[in-house]
Amino acid sequence: MIKTKNMKTFAISAILSVAAFAENRKIDPSQPCRIRGERAEPRIITPLEPMSDLPDSMLWNDVNGRNFLTNIRN
């Protein structure tokens, strides 16, 4: 009986707090959802060098005889 009473009290207080926050929240439809701050410029000191030793293709199911993929269970 005590757990049920505590759960009801919690549920009522949660609903009232959500309602109180909803009333205090002001939404301006002309403003964007998120305002991003200024981003710093990327600092590239030296450009990346091209790599010639990369393979043409990579298969994860055969890397030196080992399979890194998991079984698909749907």
Cα gap 18→10, rounded to integer Å: 12
Provide the pLDDT for residue 58. 82
Provide the pLDDT for residue 7. 81
Does this model's pTM top 0.75? My answer is no
Provide the pLDDT for residue 55. 80
DSSP 3-state helix, strand, coil percentages of the chain (rounded to 5)? Answer: 30, 5, 65
pLDDT 10s digits, 1-58: 556 677 888 888 888 877 776 666 666 777 767 667 777 888 888 888 888 888 888 8
Provide the pLDDT for residue 52. 85
